[in-house]
Amino acid sequence: MKLRTLLLAACLLPFPLHAQGLNYSYLQGSYEVWTDPDTHEWVIKGSYEFADSFYAFLEDASGGRHAGVGYYHPLRVDLHPYAQFGLADSRDGFRPVLEGGVRWMLDRQWEMRGLARFITDGHIDQRGREDDELIFAAEGVYNLNRTAALVAALGVPMEADGLVLQFGGRLNF
């Protein structure tokens, strides 16, 4: 429990901000590892800004699909709190997924994101029962240039055991 508390505190720490702006139109491919249960999968996700402060997103993994809309409020060019609502597929139809967080630029190359994601019936326990899942995560993006970036993320699920690790690349457009 101390590890989870420490990781959550690290996700919420404020960092100095110096940057150019945040992009909400991208395509990302990542390899995701859940440490317990031992699950490895490819994840493809994308986002497209269709109006000022509004974007649509899609996430596809072997565990299911998740799509919806989001809103961000630019406090500064380099600091955006955001909220998004989506629907994910499940055994019983669709289930809502809520996410909120903050994206910020540390400099021209580094972007950080801290988030909390609530998934209804997102965790299946050892007895096969579905429970709601709350995940806290931190993501780092290293922009190689204007179009290509490397991505790494660490997630801490509250119901499932272990951690979620993610590594991949992003194409900005």
Number of neighbouring beta carbons within 10 Å of residue 163 = 17
Write the pLDDT tens digit of every residue in 18-50.
335 799 999 999 999 988 767 889 999 999 999
DSSP code for 17: -
Question: Across residues 100-123, what is the average pLDDT?
Answer: 90
Domain of residue 105, residue span: 2-172
Which of these ranges, 7-11, 34-38, 95-99, 166-170, has the smallest mean pLDDT?
A: 7-11
Q: Which two structure tokens, joined as six digits, stand for 80?
A: 């955006």
Query: Which phi and psi (to 5°) does residue 134 adopt?
Result: -120, 125
In the chain, the largest separation of any two C-alpha atoms, in whole Å, equals: 49
Greatest mean pLDDT among 1-5, 101-105, 118-122: 101-105
What is the CATH number for 106? 2.40.160.40
Predicted confidence (pLDDT) per residue in 134-160, tens digit: 999 999 999 999 999 999 999 999 887
Annotate 29-63 with b (16+ C-beta within 10 A) or e (fewer): ebebebeeeeeeeebebbbebeeeeebbbebeeee
pLDDT at 125: 55
CA-wise closest residue to 125 among 161, 95, 171: 161
Tokens 């993320």, residue located: 153
pTM over 0.95: no
- The pLDDT score that the predictor gives to residue 8 is 45
User: How far apart are the C-alpha atoms of 24 and 49, rounded to whole Å?
Assistant: 5
What's the pLDDT at 104?
95
The pLDDT of residue 13: 43
Peptide bond into 37 cis (omega under 30): yes
Mean of the per-residue pLDDT values of the chain: 85
The larger pLDDT score, comparing residue 2 to residue 156, is at 156
For Cα atoms 44, 22, 5, give the angle at the middle one, nearest 5 degrees: 70
Q: What percent of the chain has pLDDT over 90?
A: 62
Give the residue from 11, 4, 6 showing the smallest Cα distance to 140. 11
Q: How many domains does the chain have?
A: 1
